[in-house]
A and B are shown apart, each in its own frame.
Chain A
Amino acid sequence: MATVRKFHQARWNEPVIFELSRPGERGIMVPEAEPGIRERVGDGTSRLPGKMIRQDMPALPEVAQMRVLKHYLRLSQGTLGADLNVDVGQGTCTMKYSPKVNETFVRSPKASELHPMQDDSTVQGALEIMYSLDLFLREISGMDRFSFQPGGGSSAILAMASIIRAYHAAHGEAETRDEIITTIFSHPSDAAAARVKGFKVVTVREDEDGLPDFEAFTKVVSKHTAGLLITNPEDTGIFNSRISQFTTVMRQAGGISGYDQANANGILGITRAREAGFDMCFFNLHKTFSSPHGCGGPACGALGVISDLANYLPTPVVDKTDAGSYCLNHDLPHSIGKIRCFHGVFPAMLRAYAWIMSLGAAGLEEVAQIAVLNNNYMLKRVTGLAGACAPYAVGRRRIEQVRYSWEQLYRDTGVTTEDVTRRLADYGCHLWQSHHPFIVPQPFTIEPTESYSKDELDEYIACLEQVIAEAYSNPEIVKTAPHNSVVHKTDDSWFDDPAKWAITWRAYLKKHGCEREG
């Protein structure tokens, strides 16, 4: 039987870096111009007109090197990365293992010291990685060409919305086709990025099974429809078995179907975007394909399209010449231009390439199957917990994640999802509150991926059991949590009041400085 460990996260009560400043201290020296240079050009800055010379020094802290190191090391210890915990509580985000060997590739100067405008002949290795990864993802998705330029999933959604717009513009329908349809359990950016590109957003709600309501969908499709942006499985983890009907209706109406596959972890080698009738899809290389999340990027939303849309991709893309060398192709006739500067986040591509090479076809399929097995195991365990349930599609299997609810726990004890997340921190665990709107009351979403052993999954469940037992016996300890984490419960009133919020240290000093001295 798994037990709850006696955990206490590092609590250094570390000051803000500005509080460590001691005038005159230096963290690092900067090279000076050689005497021969100074002789020739002087001090350099006198070439500037006086009004352009900065007279006040920027009020950065002055801290010696080891203290800077110690400061940020302590802050790192106050952060619970996936490497340290059973990181299954951030459902939809696929917090899997990011192999350490891939960090050695990314950190090699052979990868890190490349400039994006180098001559193609000097970056043959980098281009080969990009070209090969494109081929791998084509096979995994059934799409015909990929771009790695989007800097994250939302960026890839923006690229899809941009392509939808450009496609209809090229066919003289930019003005009439001004609506994008999405679903309530698809990521918020499927709606938000579509709006950025000027579309009206139509959101289809869920049916009794938690799946997008097909009848409601068909009713909102019209001559104004430009496209569909949809996830499958959605946040609920239930596979939408009618997905082909959605894409068929969309095609018949003249719209384009874009598949948000930010998280595709449960279906690698099982089912593909092409067979489901999609025209585009994207994979987050920092989710399914193991690139670490880095506290929120850098990242890559690898965007794939069918051949009809290949000329709309952002440029450049990588081509292979007849002679077998690789080159950047800047000339796609209908290109939407650029979604991000240069070629995207190469480190994420390199890690994804290495991860796929380590696993192969059978390995990827095993990843998917074990991720789904682990998820259904967690479904069984979580729905056995007091106060928890998994709304919709009761008795059915789920794919890679499940959106659960603490509604019963809340009714019984007054303990909310937010309280549980704070208390779990005391046991070295993380649980996410899920995306708004909270259609599922008191929601939480668990996605165990393939990376954690059964023993670790049992340990996570034991932590949930512990918190639930506390909620029923001593709810105050849960509501006032955390107690063994890095800090205690924060006064949230500072965050929504313009008179109190402080987004920088200097703003804090201006608004609250006198309190500090007192």
Chain B
Amino acid sequence: MSDMIHPYIPNSVPEVKREMLKAIGASSTEELYTDIPEELRFRRTMNLPHPMTAESDLVRHVMGILGRNQTCEENISFLGGGCARHYVPAICDEINGRSEFLTAYAGEPYEDHGRFQALFEYQSLMAELLDVDVVNVPTYDWGQAASTALRMAARIVRRNTVLVSDTVSPERLAVIMNYCTPALRIIPVAHSRVTGMMDLADLELKMSDETAAVYFENPSYLGLIETEGETIADIAHRRGALLVVGADPASLGVIVPPSHYGCDLVCGDIQALGVHLHYGGGLGGFIGCRDEERFVMEYPFRLFGIARTCEQGEWGFGDVAYSRTSFAQREEGKEFVGTAAALWGITAAVYLSLMGPEGMCKLGTTIMQKSQYAMARLSGIPGVKAPAFDAPHFKEFVVDFNGTGRTVQQINEHLLAHGVFGGADLSRDLPNLGQSALYCVTELHTQEHLDYLAEAISCAITGGECSGHSA
């Protein structure tokens, strides 16, 4: 037994240790491991770095490593594709940093009443934004939400083929492919080369009596808005299939929510709602639908409900239909449930409470204006086409560099040298688009940033000199 005393281990104090060993009738902690056979014992010391037990040393060390990162705050970033930098109100960080929320886990609806209420409110606020009656406690991310929405649809209509737009994010599609194999057969649906929207003839062709659901994203991964949602819903419903749509909640102050054009299960990500990027760790998935038992009973995730208590005028909360979960029924439950992204749900609740209807409307408007301005500026550069598709867009858009003689990689290297993180290179995942990049513009970009981007891209193409950078 070591004599190490560490601030995180109060009972490492030798006197306390001795007292506790005595209380249990043992002479050493080694004796407590007698059930572990000798051949399984690890008898050498683990080869790990020498510890930094002084907190000040640890801070110097860790901040030294983190200092090698260049951030989206220090540079101008146009990266999106399922994770975007929006403004995070100070109160969002204040609340999600509270010890009570940060370090709580799975208490009862009494001592953890606040956790239940905050997540019930999250569900309720999202429901208003989405115009649905049911939303779950967050799952891991949009990829998981889309996967589960498709499996829910398959269980509801008892079929197992799903049609998925081929403009779905490659990240999410990879999650869907793994999660839905082997339960579902996934068939891609083509998009129009001109508008980027779903090819309705191809959809009609691929619809069958086996089709459980049709899935597309709106705005799509490529940023464009599918305007034929109602037609797609009709096509799906006529054949007894459900419509599943992925949506960006940041768009829903200005764009109609999918439930308005016949969507049965809406899914998406809440990272845009008050959560930092965290190198992709800020994601959280939602699924929304109408309040029908056959839908609700197919959710695998926690659903918190409101109720009365025995005290007049008091709100209580608890788990709705817990018996459907894997916690209650192991493999007989619906898929599985576990620790996912609850703290981001509470954060999104704070965000939506602050924003209100007016804030969400203004947010959507500003993003549309700024992204349209960026497209207009970039299209002014010879050889550059933005957007690549003839459709309305929200927040993101494809910039077509095929006419410039430069690769996206060349352009992005130039931009990086000038303090700009250029849009994601699509040439690998979507080779049909050639040298194209996905740009994301939010309310945080200023006109100056966008003008600077246009200038820097011009320089990258012509080889001219860029003026000073203004992050």
Contacts and interface: CB of A to CB of B under 8 A. Distances in A.
B16 interface: yes
Interface in B277-310: 277-284, 291, 293, 296, 302-310
Contacts of A380: 23-24
A435 B124 contact: no
A298 B9 CA distance: 25
Interface string A129-165: 1000000100110000000000111110110001001
B416 A425 contact: no
Interface string B356-388: 111111111111111011001000000000000
Given A155-B338, A342-B283, A113 B72 contact: yes
Nearest to B137: A296
A373 B46 contact: no
Contact of A60 (B47, B282, B328, B360): B360
B131 A58 contact: yes
Given A101-B58, A191-B331, A128 B339 contact: no
Interface string A67-91: 0110111111111111111010010
B281 A140 contact: no
B280 A342 contact: yes
A28 B359 contact: yes
A105 B3 CA distance: 29
B430 interface: no
B103 A397 contact: no
Report, as a range, how many residues of chain B touch the other chain. 35 or more
Contact of A115 (B72, B133, B283, B447): B72
Contact of B42 (A41, A121, A271): A271
Most A C-beta atoms less than 10 A away, residue of B119, B123, B281: B281
Given A128-B68, A296-B105, A495-B319, A488 B311 contact: yes
Contacts, number: 743
A389 interface: no
Interface stretch (B178-186, B201-209, B237-245, B456-464): B178-186
Contact of A58 (B33, B227, B252): B252
Nearest to B104: A81
Interface string B86-122: 0101010111111111111111111111110111110
Contacts of B103: 81-84, 87, 95, 98, 292-294
A59 B128 contact: yes
A428 B112 CA distance: 11
B277 A113 contact: yes
A28 B39 CA distance: 62
B279 A45 contact: no
B101 A129 contact: no
Interface in A423-468: 425, 428-430, 432, 435-437, 450-454, 456
B307 A492 contact: yes
A58 B52 contact: no
A154 B36 contact: no
Contact of A347 (B142, B181, B278): B278
Interface residues of A, number: 221
Contact of B256 (A52, A155, A299, A376): A52
A162 B175 CA distance: 11
B102 A363 contact: no
B404 to A, nearest CB: 20
A118 B376 contact: no
Contacts of A165: 181-182
A336 B176 CA distance: 11
Nearest to A85: B111
B17 interface: yes
B227 A358 contact: no
A503 interface: yes
A296 B122 CA distance: 14
A348 B281 contact: yes
B124 A16 contact: yes
Contacts of A295: 101, 104-105, 112, 115, 118-119, 342-343, 346
Given A61-B353, A73-B95, A26 B280 contact: no
Interface stretch (A195-203, A213-221, A251-259, A470-478): A195-203
Contacts of B23: 377, 380
Contacts of A369: 1, 29, 32
B24 A377 contact: yes
Contacts of B316: 487-491
B356 A61 contact: yes
B62 A239 contact: no
A101 B358 contact: no
A503 B52 contact: no
Given A27-B356, A337-B175, A53 B276 contact: no
B373 A63 contact: no
Interface in A95-111: 95-99, 101, 103-111
A270 B58 contact: no
B318 interface: yes
Contacts of B468: none
A222 interface: no
Contacts of A430: 107-108, 111-112
Interface stretch (A302-310, A403-411, A505-513): A505-513
B83 interface: yes
A196 B336 contact: yes
Nearest to A34: B447
B193 to A, nearest CB: 20
B109 to A, nearest CB: 6
A357 B356 contact: no
Interface in B41-92: 41-42, 45-53, 55, 58-59, 61-63, 65-75, 77, 79, 81-83, 85, 87, 89, 91
B63 A13 contact: no
Given A110-B67, A158-B179, A275-B40, A507 B283 contact: no
A373 B304 CA distance: 37
B154 interface: no
Given A117-B79, A201-B331, A339-B175, A193 B336 contact: yes
A294 B327 contact: no
B136 to A, nearest CB: 8
A93 B91 contact: no
Contacts of A123: 69-70, 279
A2 interface: no
A366 B112 contact: no
A436 B329 contact: yes
Most B C-beta atoms less than 10 A away, residue of A54, A61, A189, A372: A54
A122 interface: yes
Interface in B302-351: 302-311, 313-323, 326-331, 333, 335-344, 346, 349-350
A152 B179 contact: no
Given A269-B46, A296-B137, A491-B308, A79 B114 contact: yes
Contacts of B407: none
Most B C-beta atoms less than 10 A away, residue of A294, A482, A489: A294
Contact of A125 (B65, B125, B307): B65
A341 B42 contact: no
Contacts of A193: 336
A83 B46 contact: no
Contacts of A332: none
A30 to B, nearest CB: 4
A340 B284 CA distance: 10
Given A25-B356, A189-B336, A450 B105 contact: no
Nearest to B359: A30
A286 interface: yes
Contacts of B365: 33, 43-45
Given A111-B66, A360-B49, A99 B359 contact: no
A358 B52 contact: yes
Given A45-B254, A58-B253, A369-B29, 9 more contacts: A32-B366, A68-B354, A118-B77, A295-B346, A354-B62, A357-B49, A359-B8, A362-B51, A370-B17
17 contacts: A30-B443, A31-B443, A33-B369, A122-B69, A129-B65, A155-B140, A241-B37, A293-B106, A297-B339, A298-B282, A337-B174, A337-B177, A363-B9, A376-B24, A396-B35, A487-B109, A508-B306
